[in-house]
Structure 1
Amino acid sequence: MNSKNNIVINSRFLTQPITGVQRYAIEISRELLKSDLNIVFVAPKNIIHKDLAKEFNVSVIGNGFFKGHFWEQIVLFIYVLRKQSVLLSFCNTAPIFYKKQFVTIHDLSYLKYPKWFSKSFRIVYGFLIPKIIKNSICIFTVSEVSKSEIISDFNVISEKIKVTHNAIGKSFFKDNTSINKNKEKYILTVSSHHPRKNFKNLIKAFKKIKNTNIKLYVVGNVVSHFSKNDQILNEELNNRIVLLKGVSDDDLLNYYENAELFVYPSLYEGFGIPIIEAMSLKTQCAISDIPVFRELFKDNASYFNPESISSIVDSIDYQLENPKSEKELIDIKSKILMKYNWKNSSNIILEVLKEELNKNV
């Protein structure tokens, strides 16, 4: 088959820990594999997700000398240039000079909140992103808010950007009810550790809520970062705050299902996958009052000002004292699963890809 009709998927995401960005890449890849397109996955040598590489039948290109951005800008660029294939990249970065490509830009946090990132990160992304956006045929992003930011910050026409929402993994569709192994009441938050996740304010607020018998479970790669010199500054963790890492998918479902409340205090997001995970398991949510959450979740959650400790406290107290009914939670679950699923998003990408491939026929 003519390599010009191939879709090459930049699988550098298999060398990275799985956060929301990598989850998007994995699940969209799985959906695209169900199509009739001729898809080729390529990655550098330093793959850490071996099972996924086998599932996607990944071809390793390069001798291992180049990794990360250098692999993307040199090895991957030369590979697709020689084959003249269509390139699809899911995780914000891609070869800057290749024009026969499609890229997902999840958000512009590096630009909106530069203080959250190292100087080197800001320089790299500040150099890459404008060129990638300019040279790509089409940009995918995960919300209308992110689309609006890309349009305004990079002077891109609306038609060049397609919204492809995040969704939840297949493990969340298991037809069973888990048992609370911990036999205790708790509030849950789930996320990677990053200043935007706002753990500092959440912990301050948690210490002021009315219910002093409930615990706070923090799931994510955050444990090593909770120190007196880091995110929570000089605040002491007490025995009501449980830090969890290395949580399996089954245990994560258990934590979601049995939580009294899910709290997500982010200051900025492109989407917010943990919120739809919680809603899909009929867990009520208290979340930040930021534009993207209003867009995506409307009246299906309780909102608070993430920069106000008292607002977070009031929202948590109200939700704990006024829990939603089972019927309300089932209704929210149905609406969320109907709107946000990987098939819907992959169909948008497929339509755009097929339109491009037809130009070569």
Structure 2
Amino acid sequence: MRIVLDARCLVFPLHGIARYTRNLIQNLPLADTDQLWVLYHPMAFQAFEHKGVTWIPWQGKTFSLLSFLELYLFLKENQVDLFHSPSFFCPPFLPCPWILTLHDLIHVQRAEEYTFLHRLYFAWLQKKARQAAGLLTVSEVSRELIKTWLGPQAPAIEVSTLGVEAHFTPRVENREFRKHYHLPKEYWLFIGNHKAHKNFKLLKQLWQQARDLPVLVTLGLPELNLPGILNLPGLADQDLPELYSHALGLIAPSLTEGFGLPPLEALACGIPVLAADIPVFHEVLKDAASYFDPLSPSDLEQKIRQFKAQRSEQRPALAYSWQNLGSTTYAFYRRCYAA
């Protein structure tokens, strides 16, 4: 089986889709007769060795007519059997069957937050998704949303959940780590970007109102200068387990998600999670998190003040592995190839 994986989304620092893509490559159980070509930007990511993988440096722009033509010719000349895009990108013309990973439908659920061109692109992507050999997604909640979005023309949709890397484990107190990042003795943690569905405005509002709460440490946001909030824009990836382990707990206030990886990583590091009361968090976290109304700062404040800083004994992160992602995705490749 000859497969091309479009990994041009691999750009440091690795966001959610990039981490999904990297771990997928590392965990695909390729057979000796398989060939996987991985397209990537060499200036943005360092390739690594894996059985059956050939890295293809791609210098051109992702969205350009010339790049589309070069990709089409590469797929045709190498008689590729399947093309897989692990992000929300699909070339306009392909000479072989294709698979898309649709992590969520936030662009549909919150269309008003996107530009006209974005909405136009996603309307076009809807048509391409219906023509795909198959679709991958990361939760049952997302699968049901995608089925509704695509209607009766939807192809097969496989759920392949994300995983937690082995180095996410509880760490002992590290004063040097605290000193290096200027961390206070007690802090709550938020990991996410500035997009509206991440709902950072809830935390911002609460910490501006309740000045006696422990410091809120944020990761992934632009520079902030707010009382009681400490932003870490440059934390090294390998330091994440330390950051989790030293926190009182993680707050995940999202209004919607496709999966939600930071809460699982936090639980794996032994700290509690306060999560928004939304369907996907209940699916992924089950009873291991405490839930709050993501539209109510007062409800979150009450949960924080009632909260007892206890190390989490339940670790549902153990049920999620990148190895499972690789094996289920590979099995889906085989089914689409045989169809």
Same fold (TM over 0.5): yes
Instruction: Judge conservation of contact 1:260–1:284 (CA < 8 Å) in 2.
Output: yes
Structure with the higher helix share, 1 or 2? 1
- Find the counterpart in structure 2 of residue 81 from structure 1: 76
Instruction: Judge conservation of contact 1:93–1:132 (CA < 8 Å) in 2.
Output: no
What is the CA–CA distance in structure 2 between the aligned matches of 1:139 and 1:47, rounded to whole Å? Answer: 29
- Find the counterpart in structure 1 of residue 113 from structure 2: 116
Instruction: Judge conservation of contact 2:187–2:217 (CA < 8 Å) in 1.
Output: yes
Q: Deviations over 1:57-84 (max 9, x none)?
A: 41125xx444346576433233223424
What is the CA–CA distance in structure 2 between the aligned matches of 1:214 and 1:10, rounded to whole Å? Answer: 43
What is the CA–CA distance in structure 1 between the aligned matches of 2:90 and 2:213, rounded to whole Å? Answer: 49
- Find the counterpart in structure 2 of residue 219 from structure 1: 219
Amino acid paired to 1:89: S
Q: Deviations over 1:210-234 (max 9, x none)?
A: x8161110011x124x4xxxxxxxx
- Find the counterpart in structure 1 of residue 306 from structure 2: 318
Q: Deviations over 1:97-151 (max 9, x none)?
A: 4351211100111111012222222222222x21231121110000001000010
Instruction: Judge conservation of contact 1:257–1:281 (CA < 8 Å) in 2.
Output: yes
Is the alpha carbon distance of 1:8 and 1:254 closer, same or farther for their aligned partners in structure 2, counting shifts above 3 Å?
same
- Find the counterpart in structure 2 of residue 139 from structure 1: 135
Q: CA deviation at 1:356?
A: 3.9
1:52 corresponds to 2:51: no
Is the alpha carbon distance of 1:275 and 1:68 closer, same or farther for their aligned partners in structure 2, counting shifts above 3 Å?
farther
- Find the counterpart in structure 2 of residue 263 from structure 1: 251
Q: CA deviation at 1:261?
A: 1.6
Q: Secondary structure at the match of 1:189?
A: strand
Q: Secondary structure at the match of 1:313?
A: helix
- Find the counterpart in structure 2 of residue 237 from structure 1: 226
Aligned match of 1:31 in 12, 27, 38? Answer: 27
Q: CA deviation at 1:22?
A: 1.0
- Find the counterpart in structure 1 of residue 88 from structure 2: 92
Aligned match of 1:336 in 292, 317, 322? Answer: 317
Aligned match of 2:101 in 101, 104, 112? Answer: 104
Q: CA deviation at 1:20?
A: 0.6
Q: Secondary structure at the match of 2:254?
A: coil
- Find the counterpart in structure 1 of residue 193 from structure 2: 192
- Find the counterpart in structure 2 of residue 355 from structure 1: 335
What is the CA–CA distance in structure 2 between the aligned matches of 1:159 and 1:303, rounded to whole Å? Answer: 34
Q: CA deviation at 1:183?
A: 5.0
What is the CA–CA distance in structure 1 between the aligned matches of 2:260 and 2:274, rounded to whole Å? Answer: 13
Instruction: Judge conservation of contact 1:73–1:94 (CA < 8 Å) in 2.
Output: no
Instruction: Judge conservation of contact 1:33–1:39 (CA < 8 Å) in 2.
Output: no
What is the CA–CA distance in structure 2 between the aligned matches of 1:352 and 1:176, rounded to whole Å? Answer: 37
What is the CA–CA distance in structure 1 between the aligned matches of 2:250 and 2:283, rounded to whole Å? Answer: 19
Q: CA deviation at 1:260?
A: 0.6
What is the CA–CA distance in structure 2 between the aligned matches of 1:112 and 1:81, rounded to whole Å? Answer: 36
Q: CA deviation at 1:35?
A: 4.9
What is the CA–CA distance in structure 1 between the aligned matches of 2:31 and 2:2, rounded to whole Å? Answer: 13
What is the CA–CA distance in structure 2 between the aligned matches of 1:72 and 1:284, rounded to whole Å? Answer: 46
What is the CA–CA distance in structure 1 between the aligned matches of 2:298 and 2:69, rounded to whole Å? Answer: 50
Is the alpha carbon distance of 1:71 and 1:262 closer, same or farther for their aligned partners in structure 2, counting shifts above 3 Å?
farther
Q: 5+ residue gaps in structure 1?
A: 227-235
- Find the counterpart in structure 2 of residue 274 from structure 1: 262
What is the count of residue pairs matched by the alignment?
329
Between stretches 255-264 and 114-123, larger displacement belongs to 114-123
Give the CA RMSD over aligned residues. 2.6
1:154 corresponds to 2:134: no
Q: Identity percentage over the alignment? A: 24
Instruction: Judge conservation of contact 2:10–2:21 (CA < 8 Å) in 1.
Output: no
Q: How does 1:161-180 map to 2 (within 5 A)?
A: 161-173=157-169, 176-180=171-175
What is the CA–CA distance in structure 2 between the aligned matches of 1:16 and 1:247, rounded to whole Å? Answer: 12
Is the alpha carbon distance of 1:29 and 1:314 closer, same or farther for their aligned partners in structure 2, counting shifts above 3 Å?
same
Amino acid paired to 1:215: V
